[in-house]
Amino acid sequence: MRYVLEGSVQRWGKQVRVNVQLVDAETDAHIWAERFDHDTSDLGALQSEITDRIAVALDAEVTSAEAARPSEHPDALEYILRARAALSKPSSPENYAQAIPLYERALELDPGSVAAKSWLATALVSRMFDAMADAPEADGARAEELAEQALAAAPRNPLAHFAKGMVLRAQGRDAEAIPEYEAVITFNPNWVYAITSLS
């Protein structure tokens, strides 16, 4: 396990304080920490808010931490991160046109990259869902091939399972996609997009 999320809860009266920190399990370095102070009038809403905020923060912090780690193919990782940054903006044909070639370039530099294959498959399918693909059938076929390759290479990789779930949804095979999203959540309970895909 590369990262560990630790936390504590303190309660007094109608107030609750949640302290959370993300730790690099290999170096014991603290990567991120935050404190949440709220009243307890609606614990369900409180839990949802904290979970959402942690998930968003962790995605950004883990991406930054991984970007700082040495890599056998640092150029490929750079292209992946640039593509993810492009797709973190609102969906548009221009953003897809910017991101997808960056993922393709990462794959050229590191043909075995599970991350590049999975993110590229996800981007192609997302472009289909957003009705912004010029050739949706070609995008779907390419995404399916990439997701299958990623899962074959790394059957326990949550990103590969997420890509496969997205491909299955795009094919209208929603029931088959459910176990893929559930696998993602098993490996990473804070993966917001997998959680929302199940709802």
Number of domains in the chain: 2
Q: Are 122 and 93 contacting, i.e. CB atoms less than 8 angstroms apart?
A: no
Q: Between 102 and 72, name the one with better pLDDT.
A: 102
Are 120 and 136 in contact by the 8 Å Cβ rule? The answer is: no
Q: Which residue has the higher pLDDT, 75 or 142?
A: 142
Q: Which of 15, 43, 68 is the last residue of a domain?
A: 68
Do 55 and 92 belong together in one domain? no
> Which pLDDT score, from 0 to 100, does residue 14 have?
84
Mean pLDDT value across residues 106-116: 93
What pLDDT score was predicted for residue 100? 97
Domain end: 13, 44, 68, which one? 68
CATH number, domain containing residue 145: 1.25.40.10
Whether 80 contacts 116, CB under 8 Å: yes
pLDDT of residue 1 exceeding 60: no
0.85 surpassed by pTM: no
Tell me the mean pLDDT in the region 169-194: 89
- Over pLDDT 90: what percentage of the chain? 48
Q: Who contacts 168 (Cβ-Cβ below 8 Å, separation ≥6)? A: 174, 176, 177, 180
Answer yes or no: do 111 and 133 share one domain.
yes
Domain that residue 39 falls in: 3-68
Q: Is the pLDDT at 104 greater than 70, yes or no? A: yes
Closest to 166 in 3D by CA, of 176, 156, 157? 176
Do residues 59 and 82 share a domain?
no
pLDDT in tens, 121-135: 999 999 999 999 999
86 and 127 in a single domain? The answer is yes
pLDDT digits (tens, 9 = 90+) for 25-76: 666 666 777 888 888 777 777 777 777 777 666 665 555 555 455 456 778 8
**What pLDDT does residue 59 have?**
62
Same domain, 134 and 179: yes
Higher pLDDT, 14 or 125: 125
pLDDT at 96 over 80: yes
Residue whose pair of structure tokens reads 């949706």 in the numeric block = 136
Same domain, 62 and 136: no
- Percent of the chain beyond pLDDT 70? 84
Do both 85 and 102 map to the same domain? Answer: yes
Band of pLDDT at residue 150, cut at 50, 70 and 90: very high
Same domain, 30 and 79: no
Choosing from 41, 68, 95, the residue where a domain stops is 68
